[in-house]
Amino acid sequence: MIVSAGLPTCMEGMMYPVPFASAADVVRIAKQAEVMGYHSVWGNDHMTTQRYVREEFPTPPNFWEPLITYSFIAAQTTRLKFGTGMLVTPMRRDIVVVAKQIATLDHLSGGRFILGFGVGAYREEFEALHPDWKAHRGDLVEEAVQAMQVLFSERSASWQGEYYHFEDVEMFPKPLQKPLPIYVGGNNPNAYRRAALYGQGWLPAGMPIEHAREKVSQFKELVAEQGRSWDEMDVAMQLIAYVGKTHEGALERFRRSQMYQHLVSLSASTLKDQAGTKHEETNLIGTADEVIEKASRFAEAGVKHLCGTYFCADSVDELLDQMQVFAEEVTPHLPS
């Protein structure tokens, strides 16, 4: 089972307190993830502060743009991969510029970039950035990946769609990796349908095990319908983790975390189909043995990758400590 760690690029005020991680801290976390043996780090993508965060914190959070952050991290690491979990393509209006940035980053990193993209949890961000752009974000996401694949594959690329339009673009170099790994984020059926059509992985989040089993089975059927190999497809589940010395201590720490409050906020958007689910049961909260058992059940349900695992913490030092505990006490005991 692949294990990767969440990188706090845009998590202040949502998953972590304000302030939480400086630019130097973000780089330090990535470098330590490489030392600890994590496969990759995954940062999220926000451009402006959400309303509920503004109401809770008097100071605005710092959001570090993931692609530029990764270019800096790439120069200070050698093995670590880095993925966007997720790059919110509807917030980026010029898809040619995005494709050029991605291809450049893939070359500068020596082929260590993974493109995870999706709709985004907060429509209010999209409306703040593009108040005059009347668009369905799901359709925008689908068209974005179609247009990027044209740019990544054709010498002279042209596209005329509902939202994007370019003509005779000779965009070189193409990404170093062939194909560039593309993961589609989201819990609804459209997400794994897009993954089966266009991607190398599906990136759901915070899904109960039995729910995951059902959705993975449906995803597998879609992959087969496309004539694609299941062995080449990743199921990369994003979960929250806290490894405590006791079951009760781990639960208490999780329930008073900023991360728990973030999950409550997502109950009206990304996680609305999981009403009534206890977050501590869905996520990797407990002793090391309990976390191993739960992660193994996810593996048995078809999850191949604990992707961008978000560790409960109030400080960077606590985050690094949890990453170390997980790497030493949990990862070696997961299914291979």
For 173-217, write each residue's pLDDT tens digit.
Answer: 999 999 999 999 999 999 999 999 999 999 999 999 999 999 999
Each residue of 117-148: pLDDT tens digit? Answer: 999 988 999 999 999 988 899 999 999 999 99
Mean pLDDT computed over 144-159: 98
Q: What does the pLDDT read at residue 261?
A: 81
The percentage of the chain sitting over the pLDDT mark of 70, rounded to a whole number, equals 96
State how far the alpha carbon of 265 is from the alpha carbons of 45, 88, 242, 256, in Å.
17, 18, 20, 15
Q: CATH code at 142? A: 3.20.20.30
Domain total in the chain: 1
Q: What does the pLDDT read at residue 277?
A: 66
Number of H helices, E strands in the chain: 13, 13
Q: What does the pLDDT read at residue 35?
A: 98
State how far the alpha carbon of 13 is from the alpha carbons of 49, 86, 179, 241, 278, in Å.
9, 17, 35, 18, 22
Each residue of 265-292: pLDDT tens digit? Answer: 766 655 565 555 688 899 999 999 999 9
Q: What does the pLDDT read at residue 205?
A: 94
The percentage of the chain sitting over the pLDDT mark of 90, rounded to a whole number, equals 90
> In angstroms, rounded to a whole number, what is the distance separating the alpha carbons of residues 180 and 138?
21
Pick the more confident residue, 267 or 7.
Answer: 7
Contacting residues for 265 by C-beta, under 8 A, at least 6 apart: 14, 50, 52
Q: Which domain holds residue 185?
A: 2-333
- Burial zone of 15 (CB within 10 Å; 0-12 exposed, 13-18 middle, 19+ buried): buried
By C-alpha distance, which of 13, 133, 135 is closest to 62? 13
pLDDT at 312 over 80: yes
State how far the alpha carbon of 69 is from the alpha carbons of 60, 72, 261, in Å.
19, 5, 26
